[in-house]
Chain A
Amino acid sequence: MNPLIERYIKKDSLPYIFCAGCGNGIILNAAIHAIDELGVKEDTACVSGIGCSSWIPPYLNMDVMHTIHGRAIAFAEGLKLSRPEKNIIVFTGDGDCLAIGGNHLLHAANRNINITVILVNNFIYGMTGGQKSPTTPPGSKTKTSPFGAFDDPIDGCGIAMSAGATYCARWTVAHPNQLKKAIKEGIMHNGFSLIEVLSQCPVQAGKSVFQERDPWGMMEAIKSQTIPYKSWIPDKPAGKIPIGTFKEDNSRQEYTDKIRKLKEQLRGMQKETV
């Protein structure tokens, strides 16, 4: 057995709740490799919301908080503010992060608080059984868009970057090495980072979004829609999804650093007045 499983997976929590062919296993695998290669296991905690993607961290042999729908980032901010020296990784879904939790994404990105958010975009509400999500492509006949989805999809990376995220990358589950590298970069980056992963949900998004239920075929389909970018270009070619590292900006101050510096200043002033 892979020694990483011994170290990172709580075997008495198995089996996973994931359906056969789900992309979440690849993402869990990439995250474990990233954490292990950086050697940060003991100084890292994971937080997730609600959704299939939020079930990625509960199997980890680490400190994990499995919270409520949409609020993982808010819990993570409190955790980070209480322990600024620790790494906090958030696992969230397209519904969790961009629908119910959208406001927290905006504000955390704007604060540039050092949290690494892994946004699992499977284009659907997987856990509740295949309803339209904020990223569902127009025309998809989901359980709540029987005539074809007509909302324009939300671009999580675009929103996070315009709100102030200082690291942003997007990969797919067909790019496990790039994904691992991005998670490592996200953890090392001192600021708010968002890593979006396009993933397949054969059971709920297979037929409605991809007209393809085979996991392998879905991964191929996702991969074939993407085009690699070296930086962010807002006007993307129609029908294509940019992937790559879009932003890595170290010029903005991180939120807990701001607070720490302010407190040092205040303490200096207090001493002077004594």
Chain B
Amino acid sequence: MLKKIDVMNHGEKVLQGNEACAEAAIHAGCRFFAGYPITPSTEIIEYLSEALLLQEEGSFLQAEDEISAMCAVIGARWGGKKSMTATSGPGFTLKQEALGYAVETETPVVVVNVQRGGPATGQPTFSSQQDIYQAKYGSHGDYEMICLAPASVQEMYDFTVKAFNLAERFRTPVILLADEIVGHMREKIQIPEQIAVEEHTPVKHCDKPFGRNEKNIPYAVHFFEGHNLLVEGQLHDEKGRRIGHLADKSGVFVGNLIDKIRKNQGDLVDIDHEFLEDAEVAVIAYGTVARSAKRAVRIAREKGIKAGLIKINIVWPFPEEQLKELAATIRTVIVPEMNMGKYCLEIQRCLKQSNVISVPKLGGIIHQPTELLHIIENETGERGR
């Protein structure tokens, strides 16, 4: 259940994105962090190495690698502490097996990926959105993931809180898919006086801890509450007992994991938009690139061009129905991304009636608003008029 809690050090602040994320984690009730330093996420582990030890119930682990960090946060969550880990590309890859374990065991943890350019060591100090699909389907097997993409320091704060709440509510890991720019940028943000936080209410009798409620979500239970839980990485029944050797039951189990996200997708929509009423062309963007998109659309509007903006905040699950509705009358859609044009494929699949233009960008520098403006002008025939 969501509970309003007071935030002690609220008010206006200038923070770095990574710091805002770390501070939000503490406010949202995170009491355990394990991580391994990696640019451009390192400020998060640095911040929490101090902040968590100053918390009465807090604990912290600088793990020997990203694999152990991911495993440790899952362990800590079953111990009853809200937990988080943070990393970037190579570390995110290492976490994937244990991340799948968190999905399968329905463990609510938050995983922050401050994206850099890849593949391999890639571009440690440059930004990218190249992990957009890895965030969705990076681990083996079938599942659905919840993933948020912040575009400002304020959103690093707000979305971190939201990530914890969604993780708890849906009993699943949630990914905060940030990037180098938003992680390292400093901006003025408003830390609210109160935030809503999903709180654990202990379940008394629970002989089927992995049974599901009407929303297809299992109980909020953890160790040492007398339930004798079996947290099992093999597909399992309501009591945690393995069913991996039973085809029919296994199919139902994986179906449930998928459905608890897909069927509740309506509760997982977070989209900002502007100027769509009469727009002929719209830019659809997520994460940092949405900043350039917003600027480009506003300049276009000043010039009298009928441009609009759709900024997707929860990128996974993909807001298919909502996008269809929002973009129903839009002729041309422009999708800038700091990758080879990945999310655009989903948008093309979804918006069959529109002309969907991918604007990929590699190299680590964000799209300039003027670049996007030119494309808007081209598409509306405004250029050189």
Contact = CB atoms under 8 A, between A and B. Distances in A.
A86 B223 CA distance: 10
B78 A79 contact: yes
B73 A270 contact: no
A56 interface: no
Contacts, number: 136
Interface in A247-273: 256, 259, 262-263, 266-267, 270
Nearest to B230: A64
Given A74-B63, A79-B78, A103-B64, A12 B239 contact: yes
Contact of A68 (B80, B81, B83, B101): B101
Nearest to A255: B61
A75 interface: yes
A104 B101 contact: no
Contact of B241 (A13, A81, A83): A13
Given A81-B61, A83-B224, A68 B233 contact: yes
Q: Which of B54, B71, B227, B228 has the most CB of A within 10 A?
A: B71
A256 B69 CA distance: 17
A68 B241 CA distance: 16
B75 A47 contact: yes
A33 B79 CA distance: 24
A76 to B, nearest CB: 6
B233 A67 contact: yes
Interface residues of B, number: 46
Contacts of A10: 228, 230, 239, 241
A263 B59 CA distance: 9
Interface residues of A, number: 42
Contacts of A61: 228
Given A47-B75, A68-B233, A71-B67, A78 B101 contact: no
B76 interface: yes
A64 B229 contact: yes
Contact of B54 (A83, A103, A266): A266
A45 interface: yes
B174 interface: no
A58 B233 CA distance: 11
Given A75-B71, A81-B76, A259 B59 contact: yes
Contact of A262 (B53, B64, B80): B53
B329 interface: no
Contact of B71 (A43, A78, A80, A106): A78
Nearest to A86: B224
Contacts of A43: 224
Contact of B230 (A66, A71, A78, A79): A66
Contacts of B34: 78, 81
Contacts of B61: 77-78, 81
B34 to A, nearest CB: 6
Contacts of B78: 63, 65, 79
Interface in A51-65: 58, 60-65
A128 interface: no
B42 interface: no
Nearest to B73: A78
A175 interface: no
Interface string B69-109: 10111111111110100000000000001100100000000
B65 interface: yes
Nearest to B54: A266
Contacts of A63: 78, 223-224, 227-229
A67 B78 CA distance: 12
A267 B234 CA distance: 43
Interface of B: 31-32, 34, 53-54, 56, 58-61, 63-65, 67-69, 71-81, 83, 97-98, 101, 223-224, 226-234, 239-242
Interface of A: 10, 12-13, 42-43, 45, 47, 50, 58, 60-68, 71, 74-84, 86, 103-104, 106-107, 256, 259, 262-263, 266-267, 270
Given A42-B224, A71-B68, A76-B75, 15 more contacts: A58-B242, A63-B223, A64-B228, A71-B67, A74-B75, A78-B74, A78-B76, A81-B32, A81-B61, A81-B76, A82-B79, A83-B223, A103-B65, A263-B53, A263-B54
